[in-house]
Amino acid sequence: MKKIILIKNLGSKQHYQKKATIGLFKCFCGNEFEETLSKIKREKRKSCGCLKYKGGISKHPIYTLWANIKQRCYNEKSASYKWYLKRGIKVCDEWLNNSSEFIKWAENNGYKKGLQIDRINPDGNYEPSNCRFVTPSVNSQNTSLNYKKNKVGYRNITLSRDLKRYEVNIMHKNKTYFIGCFKTIKEAIKARNKWIIDNKTNHQLIKSNEKHQTQN
CB 64 within 8 A of CB 54: no
State the DSSP code for 212.
P
Give the type of residue at 58. S
CB 190 within 8 A of CB 131: no
Count up the domains in the chain and report the number: 3
State the DSSP code for 126.
B
pLDDT at 17: 61
- The count of C-alpha atoms lying within 13 angstroms of the C-alpha of 34, restricted to the half-sphere facing its C-beta, is 18
> Is residue 181 assigned to a domain?
yes
Residue 44 shares a structural domain with residue 68: no
Residue 75 shares a structural domain with residue 107: yes
Q: Which domain holds residue 128?
A: 60-134
Give the type of residue at 57. I
> Is residue 72 assigned to a domain?
yes
CB 7 within 8 A of CB 32: yes
Residue 74 shares a structural domain with residue 121: yes
> Domain of 216: which CATH number?
3.30.730.10
> Is residue 139 assigned to a domain?
no
Residue 107 shares a structural domain with residue 163: no
* Strand partners of residue 171: 176
> Is residue 19 assigned to a domain?
yes
- CA atoms of 133 and 135, how far apart (whole Å): 7
Residue 201 shares a structural domain with residue 161: yes
pLDDT at 214: 35
- CA atoms of 91 and 196, how far apart (whole Å): 31
Mean pLDDT of 133-139: 73
> Is residue 142 assigned to a domain?
no
Q: What secondary structure, in 3-state letters, does 64-94 show?
A: HHHHHHHHHHHCCCCCCHHHCHHHCCCECHH
Residue 216 has pLDDT above 50, yes or no: no
Residue 109 shares a structural domain with residue 164: no
pLDDT at 193: 93
> Is residue 167 assigned to a domain?
yes
> Is residue 145 assigned to a domain?
no
Residues, the chain? 216
- Give the CA diameter of the chain: 73
Mean pLDDT of 114-132: 86
**pLDDT tens by residue, 55-97:** 566 677 788 899 889 988 888 887 777 778 777 889 998 898 8
**pLDDT tens by residue, 160-175:** 756 678 888 887 776 7
> Is residue 53 assigned to a domain?
no
Residue 67 shares a structural domain with residue 17: no
C-beta atoms surrounding 88 within 10 Å: 9
pLDDT at 150: 54
